[in-house]
Structure 1
Amino acid sequence: MDYFNLQERSSRQLFTSFRDAAFGPVVSLLARIGVTPNQVTFVGVLFLLATALAPADYAWTATGLMALYVLCDGLDGPLARRTGRDHSGGSLMDIVADQLGVAVLPAAAVQHLNAWGPGMVLFASSYLIFIALVLYANELQVRLRVFVRLKYLFFLLYLLSLHLNRDFVSWPCAAITLYYVAEAQNILLRIYRHHDDSRD
């Protein structure tokens, strides 16, 4: 279960091998003391929530917490593979935790940066619908065109906005929303054609 298209999977496997090697010592330590992948995922979610709840004038604190969230996101998969606990249920938990930032941080942007509320809602909704459709299409083995995930760009813009005390998220997210609406529409059409062809 993943949201990478067929063209990305070979490069993704190379990245996964590199990441597993880079995090090897930390993963070995976590495995030795009995930490489970789901515990790492849960702690990562706590770091994400703390990032969103950190006051706007605690920009460096939010940056550190976000770095820890990303670190946990990078550790739970290698730990699952090392301990033999990698399975679809764990992959689903990892995906939910991975995408939760797109649900939480737009709300934080409205609260802390006075970002445009409707734009933040549309950005979060379009991105999450897009990811859900990619997951479904991949399960059906529907071939998708190359797409990009701009989640980390949004995270960086959010942190930059905190540091400079200016809203750098509203307008970029409006443009990103249009992109994901178009991509979601394309994926829906491909899924529809797949089901239509399977009836013949």
Structure 2
Amino acid sequence: MTGVQPTADCYSGGERRAMEATQRWRAAALAPLLPRLTAWRVGPDGVTVASLAAGLSFAALWPDRPWLAVLMLLAHAVLDGIDGPLARHQRRAGAAGSLTDTLSDQCVLAGVVAALMASGWLGAWNGGLFLFIYTVVVAFAMVRNALSIPYSWLIRPRFVLYAALPLQLTWGVSVVPWLTGALSLVLGAKLLSGYAALRTRLRRAAE
């Protein structure tokens, strides 16, 4: 056991400890906003839906209005950081909200990758493989957490990918394809280790 309580979200043990360490300052930073949102009857699920809408609008704006598309991704990221603190403020934090948040993040990532492939910024094989591996790793992370064998660490490559977009727009250097390929290699290693851990646990459970 790692000391992490069983839960079916997609965070690694290291991420969970970091989140617990930063919850206080996040709550302090958002302290003026959270009571107002509560007074306006805005719930964490509503913030998640707004975050999802902002993220998915990227696909509609890209590549005709690239900078506006990037700004909508930024709005998605900001809103994605509010729903958790709001849920804790309203004492509504739980597995259901975490599942909704994870699904929202995956939908936005799928929309972004699809838009990049459609516009030629990302090859079909490169983008498809990245999206597939990322999704499987997230699924493995959730199952491993439910079995109390969380990953020791995970990277969050969706934000790395999102941050690379304005860099490529500014410099004109083809960063995204190379970055996506490198991230697929790292995630592929986590996929294999996740599969091995799950297989070992299931084999022992059957003995």
Normalised by the size of structure 1, how large is the TM-score? Answer: 0.91
**2:201 alignment counterpart:** 194
Match of 2:51 among 25, 44, 54: 44
Greater share of residues in helix: 1
Matched, 1:80 2:87: yes
Secondary structure, aligned partner of 2:204: helix
The 8 Å contact of residues 109 and 158 in structure 1, kept in 2 or not, is answered as no
Q: Percent of counterpart pairs with the same letter?
A: 25
Pair 1:79–1:102, CA change in 2 (3 A) = same
Q: Deviations 1:117-170 (Å, cap 9, x if unpaired)?
A: 110010011011111101100110114343322221111112333444554211
**1:109 alignment counterpart:** 116
Query: What CA RMSD, in Å, does the superposition of the two structures yield over aligned residues?
Result: 1.8
**1:178 alignment counterpart:** 185
**1:123 alignment counterpart:** 130
- Structure 1's unaligned 5+ residue stretches are none
The 8 Å contact of residues 58 and 111 in structure 2, kept in 1 or not, is answered as no
- The alignment of Structure 1 onto Structure 2 pairs a total of residues equal to 200
Cα deviation for residue 67 of structure 1 reads 1.5
Paired with 1:32 and 1:49, the residues of 2 have a C-alpha distance of 28
Paired with 1:25 and 1:78, the residues of 2 have a C-alpha distance of 12
Match of 2:70 among 63, 69, 74: 63
Paired with 2:98 and 2:186, the residues of 1 have a C-alpha distance of 26
**1:8 alignment counterpart:** 15
**Amino acid paired to 2:184:** T
Q: Deviations 1:82-124 (Å, cap 9, x if unpaired)?
A: 1222221111101111233321111111223442111001001
Paired with 1:114 and 1:84, the residues of 2 have a C-alpha distance of 42
Matched, 1:32 2:39: yes
Determine which structure has greater relative contact order: mean sequence separation of CA pairs < 8 Å that are 6+ residues apart, divided by chain length: 2
Pair 1:143–1:46, CA change in 2 (3 A) = closer
Q: Deviations 1:37-70 (Å, cap 9, x if unpaired)?
A: 1111111111001122214252331222112111
Normalised by the size of structure 2, how large is the TM-score? Answer: 0.88
